[in-house]
Amino acid sequence: MISENMKKIIASLFLLLSLPSVGQPPRPMKVLPLIPLPREVKYSDDNFVLSAQTKIVLLADGFQHEVDYINNFFKTNYGFELAIVKKMPTDGNYILISRPDFEAGFLENYDLNINQNQIFFLAEGNPGLFYAMQTFIQILPVEKTAEVKIPCVQISDSPRYQWRGMHLDCSRHFFTKAEVEKYIDYLAMYKFNVFHWHLVDDQGWRIEIKKYPLLTSVGGKRKETIIGKPAFNKDGTPSKDDKYDGTPYGGFYTQEDIKEIVAYAQSKYITILPEIEMPGHSLAALAAYPQYSCTGGPFETYTKWGVSDDVYCAGNDETFNFLEDILTEVMALFPGKYIHIGGDECLKDRWKACPKCQKRIVDEKLKNAEELQSYFITRIEKFVNSKGKQIIGWDEILEGGLAPNAAVMSWRGIAGGVAAAKQNHFVVMSPGKPCYFDHYQSKDKTKEPLAIGGFNPLDSVYAYDPTPKAFSAAEAKYIMGAQANVWTEYITTFSQVEYMSMPRMAALSEALWTPLDKKNYKEFVVRLKMHAPVLDRMGVNYAKHFKSIK
């Protein structure tokens, strides 16, 4: 509890900090390497000098985790930890951490005020304090010195969107637990709060499911991988000239790994959105359990890129039991509200030829295969809702009718997101342009690693606004935010994941956090150049094109 006396001190500090400085001529605006740019930033020429003698004054309960986080940062980067006290010190400078004495429910908001003697973190919630610390870390000097000079600033900050996401495809290529945690570190640095984890696809099943061990022992492996892009004959059939590397490929996360990664993300206020694809993109699962397909198989985990004709059979009740068992284990591992059930690119040829699927269409009085897909998703949604969770799916789940409570992730442009919002469904925007970070970021493809195609340069990502311009305020409420997707058909190493996602991730963070009227691409590039040494210190293999922007 904060005493009345302490509240007065805090209130007077606020007053002091908000007074304009007297007698100083206006100065040109100073640029600091802050990404995403906070809502309000005021600068002065003064500095606070942090040293091993600086104290942390902790005036609120429940913030120990964040205090440990920043102390750990000091120890790693400057070689000292600060003493933590519960009373205002009588001498020396200090870092004051407190909570406002009102509850507004804005748990991601924070104030950070730094004057010559005091660094003052004020946040209502733990995420807000954590974000304040991310901001603070960005203005610390990168060099390791005994005395750390920190510029004086007054920052008031809050996010523009509630869903600030990044996705990573760990099916097409597998990334280790340590690599996934590194990715989560990058998200945290830029104040993202959702990590969309693409765990299964035609080319690999990467999450241990205890009831169905073959999912990982069979579906977690493929016998080899195509080299380069698949080629097609004029009639659309696959070319016989495709080359394969002849090397078995595999990997999966145990449930223990997943618990650790979930806890790691939670410690950085990031919710993990697990994606379990259905009814398409399911060949790895069907290689393990062919009885849930229309034809009965046999199948092999896909060795090339693209989508398989074979999908889950929608006419077989056992398919739904199988998926419900899987989702039960998945929901127990991931504490977030949403489960991503895929729903994209489900080819319907098998359903059209399958007696069971056709019988389902008749029995359920459905018009066609699109409505069968809608039946599939709605049935799964009912199950997920019965466990207290919500589904989100790619925009194909609109086809044949949207399941009653589903949220939509719009990837084929924004039309799906617009249609869903107009039907009062929540939306996450992730249109291919500019949110697919597996696309090229430079026009000079000869200097780039092979990518799937497209062109999403840094400035296009920066300029992105998830809310369609024509939307009314009521419609805009359904746009939760946006995310970028990192599909990994052609991204074979984590170093390449870094190259494709950084610094576009930084640009997206600002598109999702910073008020529209504060955004300025030229100034962002200046800040990014100043921020680059932080990425160097972390050893990130970021793309350097921005360094030559004038």
Q: Which residues bind ligand ACM (CB under 6 A)?
A: 344-345, 394, 411
Calpha distance 537→328 (Å, rounded): 41
The residue among 167 and 360 lying less far from ligand ACM, judged by its C-beta, is 167
Calpha distance 103→495 (Å, rounded): 43
Beta strands in 14-60 (DSSP E): 40-50, 55-58
- Give least dist CB 313 to Zn ion, A: 3
Contact string (CB under 5 A) for Zn ion, positions 320-359, x = contact: ----------------------------------x-xx--
Among residues 34, 294, 327, 497, the one that binds Zn ion under rule CB under 5 A? 294
411 binds, among ligand ACM, Zn ion, none (CB under 5 to 8 A by kind): ligand ACM
Pairing label, strands 243-244, 226-227: antiparallel
- At 40 the three-state DSSP class reads strand
Q: How far is CA 145 from CA 74, 79, 94, in A?
A: 11, 9, 18
SS (H, E, C) 246-280: CCCEECCECHHHHHHHHHHHHCCCCEEEEEEEECC
The residue among 2 and 307 lying less far from ligand ACM, judged by its C-beta, is 307
Q: Tell me whether residue 444 is one of the annotated catalytic residues.
A: no
The residue among 312 and 524 lying less far from Zn ion, judged by its C-beta, is 312
- Give least dist CB 484 to ligand ACM, A: 12
344 binds, among Zn ion, ligand ACM, none (CB under 5 to 8 A by kind): ligand ACM
Q: Choosing from 198, 281, 439, 531, which is the catalytic residue?
A: 281
Q: Tell me whether residue 545 is one of the annotated catalytic residues.
A: no
DSSP 424-491: T--EEE--HHHHBTTSBSSS-GGGS---SS-B--HHHHHT--SS-TT--HHHHTTEEEEEEB---SS-
Q: Choosing from 201, 208, 438, 510, which is the catalytic residue?
A: 201
Binding piece for Zn ion, criterion CB under 5 A, among 314-322, 396-404, 452-460, 465-473:
314-322
The residue among 293 and 514 lying less far from Zn ion, judged by its C-beta, is 293
The residue among 118 and 203 lying less far from ligand ACM, judged by its C-beta, is 203
- Give least dist CB 188 to ligand ACM, A: 25
Pull the structure tokens for residue 194.
């959702």
CB count within 10 Å of CB 6 equals: 16
80: left (phi over 0), alpha (psi -120 to 50) or beta: beta
Q: Choosing from 185, 344, 345, 399, which is the catalytic residue?
A: 345
Q: Tell me whether residue 340 is one of the annotated catalytic residues.
A: no
- Determine, following the binding rule CB under 5 A, whether residue 37 of this chain makes contact with Zn ion: no
Pull the structure tokens for residue 423.
């039907």
- Amino acid (one-letter) located at 478: Y
- Give least dist CB 295 to Zn ion, A: 8
Kindly determine how many residues on this chain lie close enough to bind Zn ion according to the rule CB under 5 A: 6
**Catalytic annotation, residues:** 201, 281, 345
Which residues in this chain contact Zn ion in the complex, by CB under 5 A? 294, 313, 315, 354, 356-357
